Amino acid sequence: MKFIAFNVREDEEKYFAQWEKETGNEVLRLPDMLDMSSVEKIEGFDGVLALQTGTYPDEMFTEFKKFGVKVFSIRNVGVDNINLDAAKKNGVVVTNVPAYSPNAIAEFSVTQLMQLLRNTTIFRNKVAKQDFRWAPYVGKELRSLTVGVVGTGRIGRAAIDIYRGFGAKVIAYDLYPNPELKKQGIYVDSYDELFSQADVITLHMPATPDDYHLIGTENLNKMKDGSYIINTARGALVDTKALITALRSGKLAGAALDTYENESDIFNHDLSNQEIKDETFKELLSLDNVLVTPHVAFYTETAVKNMVLIALNSAKSVCEDGTASTVVK
């Protein structure tokens, strides 16, 4: 079998090579993004691998069908930017990597919160200016806070375990509660309850049309004064302009964003010495109570290995058996 992989990074190379050696299959690796200008490169291949961060218009799957491509394997969890009906119509099976390392993302979300609670960005900037005074930036202890976890899938559950390890009180909301957590009485019945009770809101959920800008003006107003938002999930969950207003007014004490609603032209690009034209994003970067990272919560050795190998094995399984355990329904 022959596969073609787009958006291949240097840190992924050794895992692609390992898989080729072990299976005897061929994988052409390209650093290029998959889009309508590069889609012709898929001719002659059985399957295509790419990243969730790309943009995949419906007509791309017409090209897949024309070139006889059987499977589109995404090396991420999210498929909210893929029209699954368009893929199915053209006979293309879509697979993803449902869990490459839940702990990587959960650990990162807690790491970011701890920095906000202890004002590390502010102190780092003060030290750079040789200002070594403490006041008035007194920190908070996590064990004294209530953490509201939105989404209790693999990542959310890993986060709950870590927060509990710090001694925090944890509450959660999920449309589909986990039976074991439900027995523990961790769930509240609505977003309103979670927003009004939690000192910290941490998002571990997919993006759906129903949850677009879940963190917007209306729900921000329901939150405790001086609360925190952590988003390592999807950028579309947060109305960035409303968030900035809440941060500037003091309604929110801080926010950590590892994903941004208009990130595709910014994250994973070297924009050194270039002007960023997104004024909202520039305003985010100017705030010292905001941590912005370029969608790297997942980015550990364990996760990168799993993303590559699971995506490749999924593509191989579809080509051999017509299906895989990771097929997106």
Q: What is the CATH classification number for the domain harbouring 91?
A: 3.40.50.720
In a domain, 327, yes or no: no
Q: Residue 10: inside a domain, yes or no?
A: yes
- Same domain, residue pair 66 and 203: no
Residue 207 and residue 115 share a domain: yes
Would you say residue 77 lies in a domain?
yes
Same domain, 143 and 275: yes
What whole-number distance in Å separates Cα of residue 155 and Cα of residue 202?
Answer: 11
Specify whether 6 is located in the same domain as 114.
Answer: no
- What pTM value is reported for the model? 0.87
* In a shared domain, residues 155 and 31: no
Whether residue 235 is found in the same domain as residue 129: yes
User: Half-sphere exposure of 285 toward its Cβ, with a 13 Å CA cutoff?
Assistant: 10
| Domain membership flag for residue 199 | yes
Is there a single domain that holds both residue 168 and residue 204? yes
Residues 245, 106, single domain; the answer is yes
Computed from CA positions of residues 282, 284, 290, 293, in that sequence, does the dihedral angle turn out positive or negative? negative
When divided into structural domains, the chain yields a total of 2
31 shares its domain with 131? no
Domain contains 8: yes
**What single string gives the DSSP state of each residue in 167-199?**
T-EEEEE-SS--HHHHHTT-B-SSHHHHHHH-S
The pLDDT of residue 268 is 85
Looking at residue 287, what is its pLDDT?
95
Residues in a beta bridge with 92: none
Same domain, residue pair 159 and 248: yes
Residue 28 lies in a domain: yes
Predicted pLDDT of residue 206: 86
Q: Is residue 160 part of a domain?
A: yes
Pairing outcome for strands 146-150 and 169-173: parallel
Distance of CA 166 to CAs 76, 171, 209, 233, Å? 29, 14, 34, 22
In this structure, the answer to whether residues 76 and 136 fall within a common structural domain is: no
pLDDT at 80: 79
Stretch (H or E) spanning 71: strand 71-74
Domain that holds residue 107: 102-292
Looking at the domain assignment, is residue 96 inside a domain? Answer: yes
Same domain, residue pair 149 and 43? no
| pLDDT in 10s for each residue of the chain, 329 residues | 999 999 999 999 999 999 999 999 999 999 999 999 999 999 999 999 998 777 899 999 999 999 999 999 999 887 878 999 999 999 999 999 988 899 999 999 999 999 999 999 999 999 999 999 999 999 999 999 999 999 999 999 999 999 999 999 999 999 999 999 999 999 999 999 999 999 999 999 988 889 999 999 999 999 999 999 999 999 999 999 999 999 999 999 999 999 999 998 899 889 999 999 999 999 999 999 999 999 999 999 999 999 999 999 999 999 999 999 999 98
Catalytic residues: 234, 263, 295
**ω into residue 177 within 30 of 0, thus cis?**
no
